[in-house]
Amino acid sequence: MAKVEDAIWTTEGSRKRSAVQGMFAEIAPTYDLLNSILSLSLHHRWRRFAVSTLKLQPGDQALDVCCGTGDFMKPLRTAVGPKGLVVGMDFCEPMLVRAQDKVHEALSLADACCLPVGSSQFEGVTVGWGIRNVPDFDLAHQELFRILKPGGHFVSLDMAVPVNPLVKRVSNFVTNMLIPKLGSLFGKTAAYTYLPKSTQKFWTREQLAASMERAGFTDIMYKDLLLGNVCVHYARKPGARQA
Ligand SMILES: C[S@@+](CC[C@H](N)C(=O)[O-])C[C@H]1O[C@@H](n2cnc3c(N)ncnc32)[C@H](O)[C@@H]1O
């Protein structure tokens, strides 16, 4: 019988939730190193771009959902300044422990599909490589919409399947062959098999945009990065920003 972590990308609902939680607990110690190798360290630049789409102002309140080891929190702090608030939430404690070592911001154990936050609290919300992992994409978008203030912005970075057929073939080779091999060097083959499999099973750019629209977002846009292997979606909650 297949081990649970070998087939997370085929699971849904609460089974996916606990399998994903266990997988990130397992890879937390090596997450940052492998993330930098796999993104060629470009993820810092993508995060700065993503945060710029939020149009945050000094003193604003920003939340990073599925915050992992906290790499979105530094650009968010730069955007909101010393008087602003930056909060990170994730449902995996070992990932939050890593974040605690790196950033001095408020961190909380929470599920993206049921955030322990009142409605209309934040001017900006980020999610980095998180939506693909939640058990219910629609529900997560609804929660992110709920906690944003009217006029607030949401941005999500995640893996994508390249549209260009040649790039897609090269990416398939890299993600299906090289990434699991790299993961195996760290003894994490299953987790790094999950990355390409979950990307292939993930919703398309258009399906994600439609889910955001169903949740109530407006001005939805997306932009490919790394030749379409990564995509950033950004959107706004309707309404005027309060002065
Ligand atoms: C690929 S990591 C990304 C971490 C971080 N956002 C980054 O940009 O490096 C995905 C993170 O999402 C978290 N996650 C997955 N599903 C979640 C859920 N339902 N609720 C909260 N966090 C979740 C995992 O624990 C993990 O830390």
Through-space distance between the first and last CA atoms of the chain, rounded to whole angstroms:
58
Pairing state between β 148-159 and 122-128: parallel
CA distance 240 to 215: 18
Name the residue with higher pLDDT: 64 or 194: 64
For 4-236, give the CATH class: alpha beta
Q: Which residue has the tokens 């609902």?
A: 13
The string of pLDDT tens digits covering residues 160-191 is 999 999 999 999 888 888 888 888 887 777 77
Q: What angle do CA 166, 197, 100 make, to 5 degrees?
A: 110
Predicted local confidence at residue 132, as pLDDT: 96
What pLDDT score does 68 carry?
A: 98
- CB neighbours of residue 109 within 10 Å: 12
Distance 67 CA to ligand 1 centre (A): 6
The letter for the amino acid at 196 is P
Distance 63 CA to ligand 1 centre (A): 13
Output the average pLDDT for the chain.
Answer: 92
| DSSP states of 195-219 | HHHHHHHSPPHHHHHHHHHHHT-EE
Determine the Cα–Cα distance for residues 50 and 223; give it in Å rounded to an integer. 10
* Residue-wise pLDDT tens digits, 191-231: 788 888 889 889 999 999 999 999 999 999 999 999 999 99
pTM exceeds 0.85: yes
Q: How far is the CA of 52 from the centre of ligand 1 (A)?
A: 21
Model confidence pLDDT, tens digit, residues 68-111 = 999 999 999 999 999 999 999 999 999 999 999 999 999 999 99
Ligand 1 probe mutation, 66, 69, 76, most atoms within 8 A of CB: 66
Counting from 1 in the atom list of ligand 1, the atom nearest the Cα of 111 is: 20
CA–centroid distance, 65 to ligand 1, in Å, is 7
The set of residues, in sequence order, having a beta carbon less than 8 Å from that of 208 and lying 6+ positions away, is 131, 137, 156, 158, 222, 231, 233
Closest ligand 1 atom to residue 24 Cα is 25
pLDDT above 90 as % of the chain:
74
Closest residue to atom 26 of ligand 1, CA basis:
68
The pLDDT-based confidence of 242 (bands split at 50, 70, 90) is: confident
Provide the angle, in degrees to the nearest 10, between the axes of the packed helices 13-27 and 31-38.
Answer: 90
- CA of 6 from ligand 1 middle (Å) equals 18
pLDDT at site 9: 62
Which of 15, 86, 92, 231 for a ligand 1 pocket mutation test, highest count of atoms within 8 Å of Cβ? 92
pLDDT for residue 189: 78
pLDDT at 3 over 70: no
Distance 192 CA to ligand 1 centre (A): 15
Ligand 1-lining residues (CB < 6 angstroms):
17, 20, 24, 35, 66-68, 71-72, 90-92, 95, 111-113, 128-130, 133-134
| Span 19-32, pLDDT tens digits | 999 999 999 999 99
The answer, yes or no, to whether residue 4 has pLDDT greater than 80, is no
Atom of ligand 1 nearest to the CA of 35: 9
- Say which residues have a Cβ less than 8 Å from residue 237's Cβ, sequence separation at least 6: 145, 148, 149, 150, 151, 152, 153, 154, 216, 217, 218
Q: What pLDDT score does 8 carry?
A: 65
